[in-house]
Amino acid sequence: MIKNYQTALVTGASHGIGPYIVRALAKEGMNLVLAARSKPELEQVAADVRATGVQVLSVPTDVTDRDARSALVNTAERTFGAVDVLVNNAGGDLQREFHRYTAEDVEALIRLNLTGPIELKRLLLPGMLQRKQGYIVNISSMGGRIGFPYTEVYSASKDGRIGFTRVLRTDYRKAGVSSSVIILGSIGGAGTGARTMEEMNLHLSAMDKAFLSPPEAVAQAVLKSIRRDKAEIVIMPGPGRLMRALMDLFPGMGSMMGQMGAPVMKQVVDFRERQRAQGDGRKHGRIL
Ligand SMILES: NC(=O)c1ccc[n+]([C@@H]2O[C@H](COP(=O)([O-])OP(=O)(O)OC[C@H]3O[C@@H](n4cnc5c(N)ncnc54)[C@H](OP(=O)(O)O)[C@@H]3O)[C@@H](O)[C@H]2O)c1
């Protein structure tokens, strides 16, 4: 168990990086509340983790929906008495050029990446403050720093998670409730990037692969952030925090790195547009 924490709620627990975070928390003996939209996948992750001996509750939830968020928090608190750790991992992108976005696209993406996580924190905070203990981990992205192509709204919302976490941490740490943000570079082997490459039958060059980190690194960073009460952890091969600082100091550097991925990303956005034109909601529906 980490500190006194007994129960963790993890969003985006059905596939991608989320199950790695779930398994790492389960290894620490924490009871788990799993949230995502896909019920069968969520149940599968829950069954796997339950077999390790911890209690697991899966709550199919769309985190963009206000009533669903309240129901999730109520169910979790009623079942376990308290939620000590919240990991806001659910997130995604449309993989669409910004000039093609509709107003609804913009709002939906901000609800997924920013409003949903902020609201879950707001709902869980009173209980944490009452017990004088709690921890919030937000999964964010280097997207905006790297200037990764076609991620304007995604990057804005992910940078929002960073700002929100910093102030939340400052305001409530003395009251026993702390927060961390984990800032991810590109993750290989699971998650959005890996799934997109597989769907499109694309293969990365050895140089592209050198920029990837494994999903296990994210899970370990979540544990480390809680254990050591870290404000921020950057997940990138090499000196991540230094890279992040350099990109802030020299914004052109991130853009230059992002441009290296531009040809592949153009193929990806064109692929998603073709899917949308064909009305294939199932596949691009996964993206948002
Ligand atoms: N993979 C990377 O390279 C990378 C890089 C930087 C940051 N990140 C961040 O890391 C986190 C996990 O990403 P990932 O790569 O694992 O993505 P992923 O494979 O697409 O998984 C996203 C998770 O979020 C859930 N989710 C999506 N929309 C949801 C909604 N409306 N309500 C509830 N759950 C929802 C998905 O489940 P359902 O579809 O079942 O709802 C899934 O469990 C995200 O916040 C992402 O932005 C990832």
Q: What's residue 111's pLDDT? A: 98
Q: State the Cα–Cα distance between residues 174 and 166, nearest whole angstrom.
A: 14
Q: What's residue 285's pLDDT? A: 44
Q: What's residue 168's pLDDT? A: 98
Q: What angle do CA 19, 244, 171 make, to 5 degrees?
A: 75
Residue with the smallest CA separation from ligand 1 atom 21 is 16
Q: Which of 26-40, 137-151, 241-255 has the highest mean pLDDT?
A: 26-40
| pTM (two decimals) | 0.97
Q: Which of 42, 87, 146, 184 to mutate to test the pocket of ligand 1 (most atoms within 8 A of CB)?
A: 184
pLDDT digits (tens, 9 = 90+) for 29-58: 999 999 999 999 999 999 999 999 999 999
The question of whether 154 is a catalytic residue gets the answer yes
Amino acid letter, residue 26? A
Q: How far is the CA of 4 from the centre of ligand 1 (A)?
A: 28
Q: Judge if the beta carbon of residue 192 lies within 6 A of ligand 1.
A: yes
pLDDT digits (tens, 9 = 90+) for 103-146: 999 999 999 999 999 999 999 999 999 999 999 999 999 998 88
Crossing angle of helices 152-172/103-110, nearest 10°?
30
Cβ proximity of 10 and 22 under 8 Å: yes
Q: State the Cα–Cα distance between residues 221 and 236, nearest whole angstrom.
A: 11
Residue among 257, 265, 283 at smallest CA distance from 195: 283
From 5, 20, 135, 154, the catalytic residue:
154
pLDDT digits (tens, 9 = 90+) for 175-210: 999 999 999 999 999 999 999 999 999 988 888 888
Residue among 114, 108, 13 at smallest CA distance from 59: 13
